Amino acid sequence: MLTKGELRSILSTEMPAALDQRWAEHAATAEEGHGEENKPVLQQDDAVVNAEHLPAVAHFLRDTFGYEYLSNITAVDYLDFDMIEVVYQFYHIDEPADVRVRVRVGRNPEACVIPSLTPTWPGANLQEREAYDMYGIDFPGHPNLARVYMWDEFTGFPLRKDFPKTGDKYTHVTGAE
């Protein structure tokens, strides 16, 4: 059973290459700048891993510590940091223990790529499709990465923070084009 933040210290000795250090300074300034109005901050107490190391870290978690239940996959668009964060929530079946693993990728299509966990955790299938549908994250290795809620011809990713809330071509609001 891992306590909060323990995974990060274990990873830093076992798999130092897997840890993503790029956002450390952002989080430091975010902590100081708490007074800034209505700005989200980046969480730093969980393990932030590089996208290409995610499957290795997930397998490490499952095989070494027994976190075999991948409960929840969520994407969050941090427009201010020009970054999309994907949060993977793992649970232990026999103990009341959870651990969060985060992956942070850029918002442009070339950078927005995370290896799929579906080959090992087929339960990630629909959740990754949802993240693709809503945020445009590419999951190479996914067997069928198609839109899940929006129709196939739809363009754009509706839950991104810069998606226009009014006046797209489907709503025909005056002044829209």
Instruction: Say which residue the tokens 């909060």 belong to.
Output: 4
Residue 116 binding other proteins, by CB under 8 A? no
Residue 111 binding other proteins, by CB under 8 A? no
Residue 150 binding other proteins, by CB under 8 A? yes
Residue 39 binding other proteins, by CB under 8 A? yes
Residue 44 binding other proteins, by CB under 8 A? no
Whats the size of the chain, residue-wise? 177
Q: Which of 25, 32, 151, 170 binds other proteins (CB under 8 A)?
A: 151
Tell me the residue ranges of DSSP E strands in 2-159.
47-49, 69-78, 83-91, 98-106
Residue 168 binding other proteins, by CB under 8 A? no
Q: Which of 130, 157, 160 is nearest to 146 (CA)?
A: 130
Q: Which of 8, 27, 55, 68 binds other proteins (CB under 8 A)?
A: 68
Task: Name the amino acid, one letter, at 164.
Answer: P
